[in-house]
Structure 1
């Protein structure tokens, strides 16, 4: 299955429940107030968010007046694409080791996302190290070790309950001594002890910077796409504590609320860098706004 088809398949629920109706809505009709009202409802129900919806529809109305000959579906697609920040994840970094700190609450698919991300870098010929920094959950350490075996990636781990910053420190020193290209660091995600977790993340970052002053080069927040607007609330908590450079949205294949990407961009001003559209390692994709919008609207690439 090709790159676009994977994303189209992964966004099937959102397209069938909401965005697929847009094609019907536009067929043979002019873009009047009734159509715009129906369009607004579709977008809000798919979690695009009130502000994003308003912004997109105002631009659509304005541009449609100027470019009446334009297909309104393609016009909408172009405006939606413009609405999404496009700062793709760097798969060929010039820093070595390139350090990625991965944060997020438990249950978002964080550890699995790290494994899939490791696979993406390996496919680019990079030598990767995992740091099992979620020392709060023994299962997370075991899970990452298992992925490491499967992908033939070194995993630096301490025992359950040990200091996560010490794991990060050891992983970085290992990467430097072995001339590795990329270090991906897992972290704990227990929001019920929020202040402790945020202090731990700040400590990990300080320790990383003792070894490599300009690292981490990416701080990625993993959000579960099925949680919709709740994910944005989680993201705000993390954003207050640590400088996020990007977001990975997981489990988009399990929700009809795939419009959440727009709300995330509008409210958080943090670029989406990765999307997960399935369980397999290859189902984590670099976020491409045009491909994403085409898949949502059922426009063939």
Structure 2
């Protein structure tokens, strides 16, 4: 990972890291770690949105760790931070998966799901830009036909990243838009189809049915499509991300997740609890609005940044 990206990631996770540092501070300067300290560590990690299971696991690791005492016979901050980062990395590493290396088909169909406000449309554009830099052609399907603003936003992004945009009538059949985008890609030999789906209908049942319909319709052109079904989660919502991910996975069978808006969020620890609870790959994380602010997820770098290490 480039140094400037790690710096941006660390800055973005600074609020989350400050909460994790609360757990580190619980031990720093102590000569031994008693049960009360372990409870305090767990509480601080839960407050940092790492979740109850992860907090307990890390506390146990710290309890079992034989820390070297400094000349004042105290445990040093760096030792604790490194132990914490190593344990977080072990949780995250099995979920690390490069979104762009999964492209095998042509056209390759990537469906983005997620609630309104999660950053789906912007994420679609950022992914399109990344593919453009890899000399791959992209068509964007504006399947959120229920929000005119979303369609216009995608068209604006399409111009910026050099991608065609297929849209339909406001309130029209979103699955049909995805189908036409896939047809166009086949006809014009376009490499990638990115489907930007709706995030809110009258109720959750309608939304999930719309998504399953889109997947079903697209599969008529290729029974393996959509080849990737990725949920975009807002990193500021904390533990609410769990219920969102569960709902989308139960409906369409997710192949991965992307976590956005981690810049300035104090709830970045949720990435760790999601990785611990769900066996779903983490493809990328976002720490800003720029086209280059969505980067491939790396467990080691994320763990260090969250623990406040360089």
Q: Do residues 15 (structure 1) and 27 (structure 2) align?
A: no
Q: Where in structure 2 are the equivalents of 1:1-301 lying within 5 Å?
A: 2-16=4-18, 18-30=19-31, 32-33=33-34, 34-62=36-64, 64-65=65-66, 71-84=79-92, 85-92=94-101, 93-190=103-200, 192-300=202-310
Q: In 2, distance between residues paired with 1:231 and 1:4?
A: 24
Number of the residue aligned with 2:74 = none
CA distance in 1, matches of 2:27, 2:292: 34
Change in Cα spacing, 1:101 to 1:264, as seen in structure 2 (3 Å) is same
Whole-angstrom distance in 2 between the partners of 1:191 and 1:233: 17
- Aligned counterparts of 1:91 and 1:139: Cα–Cα separation in 2: 28
In 1, Cα distance between the equivalents of 2:182 and 2:58?
44
| Cα RMSD after superposing both structures | 2.0
Unaligned runs of 5+ in 2: 70-77
132 and 42 in structure 1: CA distance in 2 versus 1, 3 angstrom threshold: same
CA distance in 2, matches of 1:97, 1:56: 43
262-271 or 140-149, which deviates more: 262-271
Q: Deviations over 1:121-173 (max 9, x none)?
A: 22222211111011111111110000001111111111211111111111111
Q: Note closer, same or farther for the CA distance 1:291–1:272 as it changes in structure 2 (3 Å cut).
A: same
More helix by share: 1
- The more displaced of 52-61 and 132-141 is 52-61
TM-score normalised by structure 2 residue count: 0.89
Q: What is the rounded CA distance, in whole Å, between the counterparts of 2:81 and 2:307 in structure 1? A: 8
Deviation track 1:236-268 (CA, whole Å, cap 9, x = no partner) reads 221221101111111111321110011212233
User: Under a length normalisation based on structure 1, what TM-score does the superposition of the two structures give?
Assistant: 0.92
Structure 1 spans left out of the alignment, 5+ residues:
none
Bigger shift: residues 235-244 or 134-143: 235-244
For 1:232 and 1:192, locate their aligned partners in 2 and report how far apart those are by CA, in whole Å.
Answer: 22
